[in-house]
Structure 1
Amino acid sequence: MMLPQFSHIQLLRFAGLFQYASVGTPFLRYRVVVDDLAAKQLPTSYAHLWLGCYIVFGIVYWYLTRDLGARERTPLRSGVQIALLVVLNLMAVAIGWFSQSGISALLLAVVAVVLPWLLPLRVGIAWMVLQNFSLVPVFASIREPAFSLSDAFLQSSLYSGFIVLAFVTALVTKQQVEAREEQRRLNAELRATRALLAESSRLGERMRISRELHDLMGHHLTALSLNLEVASHLVQGQAQTHVLQAQSVAKLLLGDVREVVSQLREDDSIDLTQALRDLVEGVPGLQIHLDLPAQFGIEDPRRAQVLLRCAQEIITNTVRHAQARNLWLGFELDPRRQMIIHARDDGRGASELVQGNGLSGMRERLAQFGGRVEIQTTAGRGFALDALLPLEGST
């Protein structure tokens, strides 16, 4: 029987859920919990509030981490994420308050597992420190044994080791995932470049063969035909018949060579289909919808490379900055012999376009051939780009 395969992200999430379940073991003897609180002269309602906060904590944690292991994640708005994190922290602190115990620290360790995935590193570290010392009022509220403020501070510092361990474990996992995804993206780019080089080599070899046939065999056959023409005027009878036959064969061979050279040069374009399919295959966290012309051949190797690099830059920017789930990438040849790249994603967009090195490099590559880039973006409505490359003209 095959066991289910879980990624290390999913295992980390399930470890947090196991920690959460372990914290809930006192509720297996709920009557004892109520009696214990009554013995401490605390309201019976504390037990009900403790259970309610525990349930809310579990629901929020499950919702926040439900797609951490998925390749296509459903992005939450940052404001929603922060609000849910605040709810997790409040529930953890409330559980400690109502239970009059230090189990809040165990739940804050569960929260620390989530922080590196949802917050920038510096913000996550600051959040972890603040949530750790939110335990101080919890410990100060405990009646048996009573804690002074300094004791409560020391007690919260004692639990900080568990919280830091959980945070660093999640951070290392996140960095490994990002490194693996970057490696997959680079491998896709390498396969695309290799396919382009193979097409360029194929084109170069065909051109070399056509030149060799035209320059060498064509020259020799032309010289042979001329010599046979001269010989046909110098001989008579049976010999002249054979010379004329040889001259006819030489002309046929010369015609065949010219036809082969023409056929070789007819298919002298680089097919970008395989290179682009390799480029979009296996891009992490992004579904790319590729639309290619039926016959996608580019005669100029330099322009073919520009098109591939532009597609590569579009995909890279979408993965790194757009927070998109889908990218529509199409290539269209218009009547003016311009190849147009249409790119559109369903990401977050931007209210103001900030042009980085990638877009600047794309503009420079296209400008060398008289091309240009047109960009449209609005906050919350994704990013749209049209790159135009003339296939003839300016170089």
Structure 2
Amino acid sequence: MTALAGPSADSFWAASLRRWNAVCWVLFAAMALGLTAMHRPGGSKYAALALLGCVVLCYALLDRFPGNPVVRPHVYLTVLVLALGGLAFLRGSYAALFMVTLPHYWMFGRTPRTSMAFLGLATAATLVGSWSRQGWSLEFFSETLVSTLIVVAVGVLIGLWAHSVVAQSTERARLIVELERTQAELSEAHQRQGAAGERERMARDIHDTLAQGFASIVVLAEAARAGLTADPARSAQQLRSIESTARENLAEARELVSSAQRQDVAAAGSVAQTLRRILDRFAEDSALTVVTDLSDVVCDQQTRIALLRCTQESLANVRKHARASTVGVILARRPYGVELEITDDGVGFVPEEATGFGLYGMRKRLVELGGRLTVTSSVGDGTRVLAVIPLEPPAPGGEERDKGSEGTG
């Protein structure tokens, strides 16, 4: 039969051989006793015993030394075929030996084709041996030929069935091994993906907090240095903004370190209050006109952080690129969630050509919360940033319907 793959194959063959070996030794001993007791002394009796002894010796070597370079499975099967032919010629209980060793063709042939070939040779050898002794007699046709073909047919059917069962077991074992390997690869991939996601989250948080704060400090420091002589009061105010921004950066750094211990619930109205402080500071530092319409929105901490980060990133982009004079910020609770809109009357840009990390980071942060980011802008027409994050509805209603039909504006 086809050899199984892996450790399960070794254990299967070892168990099968151990069980059948015990049976074979008993049957070989019974055959030897039968030849000794039932046949009259003479050359044919000793020749039959010698043939049986050769088979038993080869089988013992194969059983005791499976890796023996002299007696291999095919050598044993060849000796068995010759012994069957000789016993059939000598009338030496060849039928009993044929039936006892019938499973050996499938156990040691290893493949159906090889097993069938040796079984065919054994059948031919017994028939030729019997024909050489009996000739074309009625006994040869009615007993020897018919009984031999019946035994061989049954052996073939049983062997093919057993081969099919073992082949299915082999395929099942192979699939199990592949499944275990795939599960291990998936687990490793998930670990890598989790580590990459955590690195990306940390990079996004650092960019949206510390990096933006340091950029503000640099801008304020340059402006303060330039105005030390011409406008000392303005420079003093900018130095205070630098100090305040540095303190906020320090607080943000501590918050990032302890983010795993933060609670997931924020106080009612905290988003609007925090946004007002950010926008007041921005208006003071940039001297731009800031128009706000901020509603008190109750949301969890992750949504609150996403809204704050989107606001900080958008204001940083206005400061660095827009050359605007007016900025508008609207925070509102909609049936489908919370909506943050930031507009400016600056020079605008082409969103598809943006290459920085800021817009990507904002969009990624919102997607993780089930939301979306829409950026509308063109050169000379200002910019509109719309962030939408779904929230649990305050009462049963048509949130899913509103969410599906809502547009980006």
Question: TM-score band, normalised by the shorter chain?
Answer: 0.3 to 0.5
Q: Tell me: higher relative CO, structure 1 or 2? Use CA pairs within 8 A at least 6 residues apart.
A: 1
* Higher radius of gyration, 1 or 2: 2
Give the structure-2-normalised TM-score. Answer: 0.45
TM-score (norm 1): 0.47
